[in-house]
Amino acid sequence: MRLALAFGLAFALVLFGPPDTGTPAVSHAAAATASSAASAAKTTKGRYTSATRGRIHPSKGRAATTTPRRGWITTVDWTGTGSNRLALGDSAADGGTSGGSVILSGSAFAAAMASSRGAFLRGPLASHLGIEVPATAVTIASVVPTPTLTPSPPPLSPSPPPPARVKVPVLMYHEIGDGPNELYVSVDSFAGQMDLLAKRGFTTVSLDQLYAALVQDGPLPEHPVVLTFDDGYQSAYEVVFPILKKHGFRGVFFVPTQSVGSRNRLTWDQLKEMQAGGMDIESHTEHHVDLEVISSDWTRLAQETSGARETLQSQLGTKVEYFCYPSGRYNDKVLEAVQAAGYKGAFTTKPGWTTSAQSPLEWRRIRINRSDSLAGFGSKLGLEP
């Protein structure tokens, strides 16, 4: 008996080669293997027949069992149950019956054994492999090495961002004048900063020029710079506009539409005069609200983005295609609304130069603060003293 059994096992190994030792996840392919093999086992007698990823061989009415050896799983018996699902036993004594033995690929058994750390599985097989076959019992025997866990490979490092082909400093101002916080830049400081830009050969560019350069590889002057001013304060007309005209510079003014004409804010007539003088007037929502806070209300979000754009275009008679997030606050829903409103580009308050590696809806800017000395201002543009 033992001699015959040893001969049968040796013969199976010679015929099919050593089993796989990997531990892949059990898939529908494994289910198809057992189901197909079970059907073939009922009809095959005395000859080998190909089955889906398996072979059928005659067992002469006996369950295929062997004496376990250390480090090897030698017996796995699948038996039919009343639910027409397969159950697992230690040997034919647990219910294994005749009708044929099926030798599956080692990887299928390795996967099953790995789920129980090398022990014999018990209970409905469906919970492990999801296999359904007719109630006719089929004994499956295989000799596979006890699977070992393979260390997980280290996580892949995130892909580096694409290199920035183009870099442009976009300066961010708010109020020009005396005030209690860093958002205020004194008139003298601002005038000195514009003098420095002119002396160092900087050329101000429009947002259309910036977009064309960053997105479409358009041309730029040798030392480009963009000057932006948020919130539409009166100082933009009374102080900034004359100084920019003196140097032949242009600026970009982000204006909340509902603040136009209110205390210390620009009027529509002033905005039209500035636009006629070469300034860009762009969108800063209607009410300067925190867009993250209202992002769950699409109707309101659309009004603050699309509605503001429509108001500016109606009042100024020109296209408005750029946006600035109030206080730099935004999330994915806000980005979706800004894009849906038809803006080509949008500015955040994230620090840094604006580059071609950034999304056009997440352009960065360089904040100019009240405490910046002239040398500190120059260093933000990469200028040496």
Task: Give residue-wise pLDDT tens across range 351-379.
Answer: 999 999 999 999 999 999 999 999 999 99
Task: For residue 286, give the nearest of 321, 314, 315, 259 by alpha carbon.
Answer: 259
Domain boundaries for CATH 3.20.20.370 within the chain: 167-380
Fold of 167-380: TIM Barrel (3.20.20)
Long-range CB contact pairs, 49-57, < 8 A, 24+: 51/102, 53/29, 53/104, 53/105, 53/108, 54/102, 54/103, 54/104, 54/105, 55/15, 55/16, 55/102, 55/103, 56/100, 56/101, 56/102, 57/12, 57/100, 57/101, 57/103
Q: Which residue has the higher pLDDT, 10 or 100?
A: 10
The answer to whether 339 and 361 are in contact (CB under 8 A) is yes
The pLDDT of residue 238 is above 70: yes
Mean residue pLDDT across the chain: 73
E strand map for 123-169 = 139-140, 144-145, 167-168
Confidence tier at 384 by pLDDT (50, 70, 90) = confident
Question: What pLDDT is attached to residue 62?
Answer: 33
**Residue 82 to residue 63: CA distance in whole angstroms:** 20
Task: Give residue-wise pLDDT tens across range 18-67.
Answer: 444 433 333 333 333 444 433 333 333 333 233 333 332 333 333 333 33
- The conformation of residue 132, written as its DSSP 8-state character, comes to B
